[in-house]
């Protein structure tokens, strides 16, 4: 099989990048997308995602982020809108924690691209963040904001430019082995491919029930807060904070509001984005409102915008990039566990290499070799 015909199911964050990488390699690649690239119904809505080098959990991601950074720049060359604004971001950690050790280790590797900021430094330079006594900051100079809708659209466009096609508003309902090939079924068509990549985000376990024990789809809320009267947001920058409760935030591009989100413990379990409850009740907001009261003296106490998004998690929080348990020639890429946007171009490249049986760098062995356990 010299140049296999490959289907990519889902052209969201990861699928659009896989499609781009396949098209760059001259593969006849076809994307299937429930909506259209850049839509807000999956894991990628809400206008911004954090790009960062400083790690809180796993140093093995550092080379993956480095490769992603290079590919983000290559993708930018194909696109008119700005895909990222890298004006720096803060990592806020508590002294003596595992997260602070990992963050300091990555800061050391980044040399002058990272700066450790004491309590006093933080108070002077970033007074709009009210740190706890035992917290300090690290400025990650090459970090910042990715614009996810544009980024996905840019990857999809770049793939199309290089010969791929995308069937938009097209839901795949079945994937099954047919001899040496794989049949992809939608409501009104079926097509045979040599190989299939499933990158269906939080929908993956509904589409591939055998994957369900390994993936936990969750509903994540993004909440936007205005400044209090008399304040503005000029002192706020994108940040991530590991403890006491994991949270992150990004000012909106026009500087009018701060978007805030919380970690895994605050996400609702769902079966699939299709059936998930998208209503937001007051108790869903308790934790983020506590965060604002405690940490952001200049923000209003009630959000001005609230939106749900959907993401799948693995137990280890390392993404599942591997063969489907029983269907040959199907690669599954899911479970990006709340951190998959920044690395998506590198992971897209990994997916293309995997499905084409090309050499995979040793640096990805912790991902492709991960022994995923059921929840």
Ligand X SMILES: Cc1cc2nc3c(=O)[nH]c(=O)nc-3n(C[C@H](O)[C@H](O)[C@H](O)COP(=O)(O)OP(=O)(O)OC[C@H]3O[C@@H](n4cnc5c(N)ncnc54)[C@H](O)[C@@H]3O)c2cc1C
CA distance 215 to 203: 10
Residues with Cβ within 8 Å of 35's Cβ and at least 6 positions away in sequence, in order, are: 41, 168, 169
Cβ proximity to ligand X: between 130 and 171 the closer is 171
What is the number of the residue whose Cβ is closest to ligand X?
12
Beta strands (DSSP E) in 45-194 are 49-51, 84-85, 89-94, 114-117, 135-140, 144-146, 165-167, 172-178, 181-186, 190-193
> Is 225 or 248 the residue whose CB approaches ligand X more closely?
248
Of positions 19, 23, 50, 90, contacts ligand X by CB under 6 A: 50
Residue 348 touches ligand X, criterion: CB under 6 A: no
x-or-dash string of contact with ligand X, 12-31, rule CB under 6 A: xxxx----------------
Q: Is there binding between residue 56 and ligand X (CB under 6 A)? A: no
When asked if residue 347 is in the footprint of ligand X (CB under 6 A), the reply is: no
Q: Is 184 in the site for ligand X (CB under 6 A)?
A: no
Q: How many CB atoms lie within 10 A of CB 98?
A: 12
68 binds ligand X, rule: CB under 6 A: no
Q: Using the rule CB under 6 A, which residue among 6, 19, 20, 42 binds ligand X?
A: 42
Taking CB under 6 A as the criterion, which residues in 289-318 touch ligand X? 309, 311
Residue 193 phi/psi, 5-degree rounding, is -130, 160
Identify residues 257-286 at the interface with ligand X (CB under 6 A). Answer: 261
**With binding defined as CB under 6 A, does residue 84 bind ligand X?**
no
CB nearer ligand X, residue 3 or residue 173: 173
Residue with token string 């809400």: 46
- Residue 281 φ then ψ, to 5°: -100, 165
43 binds ligand X (CB under 6 A): yes
What is d(CA 20, CA 159) in angstroms, rounded to the nearest whole number?
4
Beta bridge partners of 240: 91, 248
CB 25 within 8 A of CB 160: no
Q: Enter the tokens of residue 38.
A: 């850049």
Separation between Cα atoms, residue 186 and residue 204, nearest integer Å: 15
* 201 forms part of the interface with ligand X (CB under 6 A): yes
Q: Which is nearer to ligand X, 119 or 317 (CB)?
A: 317
Stretch that binds ligand X, among 46-54, 228-236, 324-332, 355-363 (CB under 6 A): 46-54
> Is residue 340 within the footprint of ligand X (CB under 6 A)?
yes
Sequence-distant (6+) residues with CB within 8 A of 65 are 52, 53, 342, 343, 346
Which one among 172, 208, 292, 299 touches ligand X, defined by CB under 6 A?
A: 172
User: Does 144 interact with ligand X (rule: CB under 6 A)?
Assistant: no
Q: Facing residues of 93 across strands?
A: 136
Query: Which residues make up the interface to ligand X (CB under 6 A)?
Result: 9-10, 12-15, 32-35, 42-44, 46, 49-50, 171-172, 199-201, 203, 207, 220, 222, 248, 261, 309, 311, 334, 336, 338-342
């Amino acid at each position: 099989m010299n140049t296999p015909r490959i289907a990519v199911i889902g052209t969201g964050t990861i699928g659009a990048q896989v499609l781009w990488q396949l098209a760059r390699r001259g593969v006849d690649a076809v994307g299937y997308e429930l909506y259209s690239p850049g839509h807000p119904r999956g894991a990628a809505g809400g206008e911004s995602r954090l790009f960062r080098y400083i790690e809180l959990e796993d140093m093995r991601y550092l080379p993956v982020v480095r490769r992603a950074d290079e590919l983000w720049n290559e993708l930018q060359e194909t696109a008119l809108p700005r895909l990222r604004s890298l004006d720096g971001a803060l990592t806020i950690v508590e002294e003596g924690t595992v997260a602070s050790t990992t963050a300091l280790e990555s800061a050391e590797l980044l040399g002058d691209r990272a700066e450790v900021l004491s309590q006093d430094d933080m108070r002077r330079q970033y007074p709009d963040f009210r740190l706890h006594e035992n917290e300090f900051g690290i400025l990650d100079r090459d970090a910042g904001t990715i614009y996810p809708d544009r980024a996905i659209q840019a990857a999809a466009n770049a793939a199309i430019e290089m010969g791929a096609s995308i069937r938009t508003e097209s839901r795949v309902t079945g994937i099954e082995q047919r001899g040496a090939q794989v049949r992809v079924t939608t409501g009104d068509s079926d097509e045979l491919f040599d190989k299939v990549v499933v990158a269906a985000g939080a929908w993956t376990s509904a589409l591939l029930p055998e994957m369900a024990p390994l993936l936990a789809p969750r509903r994540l809320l993004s909440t936007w807060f205005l400044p209090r009267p008399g304040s503005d947001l000029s002192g706020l920058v994108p940040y991530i904070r590991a403890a006491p409760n994991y949270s992150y935030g990004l000012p909106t591009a026009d500087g009018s509001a701060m978007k805030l989100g919380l970690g895994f413990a605050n996400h609702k379990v769902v079966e699939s984005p299709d059936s998930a409850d998208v209503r937001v009740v007051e108790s869903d907001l308790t934790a983020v409102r506590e965060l604002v009261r405690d940490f952001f003296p200049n923000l209003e106490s009630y959000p001005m915008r609230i939106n749900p998004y959907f993401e799948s998690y693995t137990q280890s929080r390392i993404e599942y990039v591997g063969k489907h348990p029983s269907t040959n020639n199907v690669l599954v890429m899911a479970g990006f566990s709340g951190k998959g946007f920044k690395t998506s171009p590198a992971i897209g490249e990994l997916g293309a290499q995997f499905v084409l049986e090309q050499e995979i760098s040793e640096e990805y062995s912790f991902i492709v070799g991960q022994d995923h356990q059921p929840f």
